[in-house]
Amino acid sequence: MLMRAATVSDKARMLFEQGYDILWTAVRNPRMLGWHLFRARHREYRNLPIPEVADESRDWGQIHETQLRSIVTGTPGQSFLEIGIGWTPRVARMKDFQQSGTRYTACDFAAVCDHHRAEFQAAGVDLSKVRFLSNRVGTYAWPLTELVRTGEQFDVIYLDGHHTFYVDLPALLLADLLLKPGGYMLLDDIVWTLNFMKRQLYHVRNEWGFYRTMYDFAGYEPEQEAIPHIKLMAEAILIERLGYQKLNEHSTPFWWALRKPERPAGH
């Protein structure tokens, strides 16, 4: 009896705290209201505190960015396709591209592409060699298929989009068709998993703000949420079947640069 009373009062306290969090957030920071509702819907997060996790990826990010720029701009006039461009436009990178005569094609959601175009224009970036191919819903497989149909070929392709099997398996195969023999395939988030994404959504508010509607975890088994999809696809398809070589001097444990063979594997 006593135990039941304690459980009931624990539940009441938890509900009160959640209600308080939601109301207080609605007043103080309405943008975060949805985040608290997300937490309330997912049992595993309910009793956890609300920590902020420092972003420790910056140094790796800088290393990857340096590698990317040296591969893309190392040879002037290359064509570069970036699949997944992120919310924050990289103005300095675009100015490097401008100087090296790089032709740049970007794929992402329409709102993200519009934001980049406006920021680049405001920063005085010359957009004559820049092209945005967007999708409003669904995935970048649509614009990529158009590029395949028109016979486009790129020197360097960077796949850094959704990082999941159902979205990026078609993207990876299309990217292979779009890459010149001997071209570079760059892949980010080699060890990224859906479990990691779940934690990010919970811990990092900006990540939640941008990615909350992009991920549907329901289509994956728990063990599929625990394995890195990009690594699996890169190894099973690009390296083992299509004969791509991993360039260790340009790669890190989290970011790989692969080279497509000059001739199809087995010829």
Ligand X SMILES: C[S@@+](CC[C@H](N)C(=O)[O-])C[C@H]1O[C@@H](n2cnc3c(N)ncnc32)[C@H](O)[C@@H]1O
The residue ranges that bind ligand X (CB under 6 A) are: 82, 84-87, 108-109, 112, 135, 139-140, 160-162, 167, 214
Nearer to ligand X, 36 or 132 (CB): 132
Cα–Cα distance, 80 to 73 (Å, whole number): 10
Nearer to ligand X, 135 or 153 (CB): 135
CB of 13 to ligand X, least distance (A): 39
CB of 113 to ligand X, least distance (A): 9
CB of 137 to ligand X, least distance (A): 8
CB of 224 to ligand X, least distance (A): 18
CB of 126 to ligand X, least distance (A): 20
Nearer to ligand X, 44 or 56 (CB): 56
CB of 90 to ligand X, least distance (A): 6
Nearer to ligand X, 162 or 229 (CB): 162
Nearer to ligand X, 82 or 155 (CB): 82
- How far is CA 48 from each of CA 43, 45, 88, 199, 203, rounded to the nearest angstrom? 10, 5, 30, 12, 11
Residues 6+ apart with CB under 8 A from 262: 181, 182
Nearer to ligand X, 155 or 160 (CB): 160
Nearest in space to 252 (alpha carbons), one of 66, 83, 90: 66
Burial of 4 (0-12, 13-18, 19+ CB in 10 A): exposed
Identify the sign of the CA torsion 40, 46, 52, 55.
negative
Q: How many residues does the chain have?
A: 267
